[in-house]
Amino acid sequence: MLNPPHSVCQKKCMSSELDWFTFIHNFIFLPCPPQGRAARQLLERIQSHGIDARLEALKELAKLSADATFAAEFINMEGIGTLARLVESGTFGEMLAFTLTAFLELMDHGIVSWDLISLSFIKQIAGYVNQPMVDVSILQRSLAILESMVLNSHSLYHRVAQEITVGQLIGHLQVSNQEIQTYAIALINALFLKAPEDRRQVSNHVIRGNRPIKAEMAHQLYVLQVLTFNLLEERMMTKMDPNDQAQRDVIFELRRIAFDGENDPTGTEKRKALYSKDYKMLGFTNHLNPALDFTQTPPGMLALDNMLYLAKVHQDTYIRIVLENSSREDKHECPFGRCAIELTRMLCEILQVGELPNEGCNDYHPMFFTHDRAWEEFFCVCIQLLNKTWKEMRATAEDFNKVMQVVREQITRALLRGLNYSEILRLRQSERMSQDDFQSPPIIELRERIQPEILELIKQQRLNRLCEGSCFRKLGNRRRQEKFWFCRLSLNHKMLHYGDLDESPQGEVPFELLSDKIPVSDIKSVVTGKDCPHMKEKSALKQNKEVLELAFSVLYDPDETLNFVAPNKYEYCIWTDGLCALLGREMGSDLTRSDLDTLISMEMKLRLLDLENITIPEAPPPVPKEPSSYNFTYNYS
C-alpha cells in the first residue's frame, strides 16, 4: 500500500484540505500528456456518428499524424485498426482522402508492422488504383500505401501482386499529372525490386512528355534504369559451358554470318577444316576453342548475347567490322571477339549492372528508355566507336589496353557530353603536360611559396558559399511529399542558421525565415560517412555507398547533432571544407585538392611567362577611336 506523501507534496495536499485519496486522484490519475489527450479525443470523434464531426477529426488527424509522439499515442489506442475499418467499410470522397493520408503517415513511423494489414484492406486500396475514374488525392495515397506494403513486407508483396499488375499501372503513366506518374513509377520500381522474374518494359510517356522532369521523377527513372539493367546480371555472371552444344552453336552462327553467306546450306561442311582460321579472323583469343573466351565472369554469356544481336540485327555492320579487320595487316587488325568481350565487361562497370540503386542519385539517360533492346543497341554503337578509335590510333595488339582505356573515357564522358578521339587525345596530352612541367626543384619551391595564399583564397570562397547557404533534402520515405531544409552561415561567421522549408527555394533564403541557429563556438567537430549518427541506423537505402559519401554531421554542445546529406558531391565538398575552415582545421576534400592544383598551375604559369624584353605598361592601353563610318560589310557570295 502507498504511504502518504511528505514534504512539498504533503504541504500542497494539506493546504488544499484534501485527504490522501483525493490527492492521488487529482495529482496522479487525472493528468495526461497533451498528445495522449488529443489522440483520445480525435479517436472518439472519428468513431462518432456525426459525418461533419468525423470529417473534421480526420482532417486534424492527417495533420497531427506526422508527429512521432502523437502517432505512438494514437496507435496504442488501436487507432490504426479504426482507420482500416473505415476504409474497408467503403468510406468515400474527402473523408477517404484524409483517412488514407493519416493511415500512411502513421504507418511510416514504423511503430507497427505492415504484416498486420488485412486482405480486405489490400483489395479495397487496390480497387481505388484500378478504378478508371478516382479522385487524384485518393489515387496518390493508394499508390503510396501499396508501395509501402511491397517494400516493407514480402508476404504483402504477393498479395499486392495478385491485385495489381504492371500493365494496369502503365495506364497511370499516360496521364498529365506528374505526381501520379511519380507514384506509379515508384510502385512499379517496388514491384521490380521485389520480383526480378516479374519485371516488365515500361512505356516512355514520361520521357517524351513536354514537361520538365523534376528531381523526384528523375530519381525514379534512374531507379527504373538500374533495375532494368540488373536483369542482365544473371547472364553476366553465367559462364559458358564448352561442352554445351547449344551454346557452341551460337559461336558457329557468328562464324557462318561473317564468312558463309545466307544461302549456302553446305557452307558449314565445306569450311569445317577452316574453323580455326575463321575464329582467329573473328578475333577470339582461343581460336581453337573460342568457347573458353566466355568462361570469365563478368561478362560471361552476356558478351556472346551482344555479339549475336549485332550479327543478326545489324548484320551489315557486323560483317563490315569483321572483314575490314581481317583485311588489315596482322599487326593492325582489331580483334573483334576480344574487343566485344572486354567492351561488354566495361559497359557493365560503367552502367553498374548488378548494383542496387543509390539514394539521391538522378543520373538516368533518356536514350535507354527509347528502345526495347536499349542495352544491345548501346553495345552496337560502342563497338563501332571502338573499331573507329582503333583505326584512328593505328593501334596494334600491344596497344589493346590503351585503346580500351581511351574508349572507356570516350563512353564515360559522352554520357555527359560528346567527345571524339581527337578531343580525348587533346585532353590527355594537356593533362600529361601539366603533370610533367612542374617537377624541377625551383618550380617545386615556387609552388610551396604560392600554396598558402591559394589555400586562403579557397578558404574564403568556401566561407562565402556557406554564407549564401544551401538547400538539403530530408531523408525519409520517397512516397511522401518531398521535404527540404535550408542552412547558411551568418555574415560574421559566428552562427549557423537553419530551418525547414515547404519547397526547394529558387534563391537565397533570408535569415528571418530560418528559425533555428547554432553558435559556431559550440561546434565540437564534423564527422562524415558512416561515422554520422544518422548513417548508423540500419536501413538499406541509407547504408548504400552513394548516401554514405554525401553524409556529414555537425556535433555541438551539449551532445547535439545537425545531420546533412548533400544533394551532390560538389555541395558535400563545399560544406565539409567550409565547416573545417570555421574550426581552423585542414580542408581535405577532393574539390580542394582539385581547386588547389588548378589555381596554383594558373598562378605559376602567369609568373613563369617569358617577359624578357617585353615592356609591361603601368596603365591599360587607351580605347581606340570610333571609325569615321560604319559602312563596311563583307560579301559572302
Judged against a pLDDT cut of 80, whether residue 12 lies above it is answered with: no
Check residue 373 and give its pLDDT: 83
Nearest to 325 by CA among 312, 340, 313: 340
Cell numbers placing 82: 479504426
The average pLDDT across 363-384 equals 86
- pTM assigned to the model: 0.45
Check residue 29 and give its pLDDT: 42
What's the pLDDT tens digit per position in 274-324? 688 888 888 898 888 899 999 999 899 999 999 999 999 999 999 999 988
Judged against a pLDDT cut of 70, whether residue 503 lies above it is answered with: yes
What's the pLDDT tens digit per position in 435-494? 545 566 777 788 888 899 999 999 999 999 999 999 888 776 555 556 788 999 999 999
Nearest to 375 by CA among 349, 344, 404, 405: 344
The average pLDDT across 411-417 equals 78
d(CA 59, CA 94): 9
The average pLDDT across 387-410 equals 88
Check residue 317 and give its pLDDT: 92
What's the pLDDT tens digit per position in 116-158? 888 889 888 888 888 877 888 888 899 999 988 888 887 888 8
Check residue 11 and give its pLDDT: 39
Q: What percentage of the chain reaches a pLDDT higher than 90?
A: 23
Cell numbers placing 199: 519485371
Grid look-up 615592356 returns: 615
The average pLDDT across 14-31 equals 43
In terms of Cβ atoms closer than 10 Å to its own Cβ (0-12, 13-18, 19+), residue 80 is buried
DSSP per-residue string spanning 340-387? HHHHHHHHHHHTTTTPPPPTT-----GGGGS-TTHHHHHHHHHHHHHH
Range of weakest confidence among 376-380, 470-474, 502-506, 608-612: 608-612
Check residue 329 and give its pLDDT: 66
What band does 179 get if pLDDT is binned at 50, 70 and 90?
confident
The average pLDDT across 569-575 equals 92
Nearest to 191 by CA among 163, 221, 160: 160
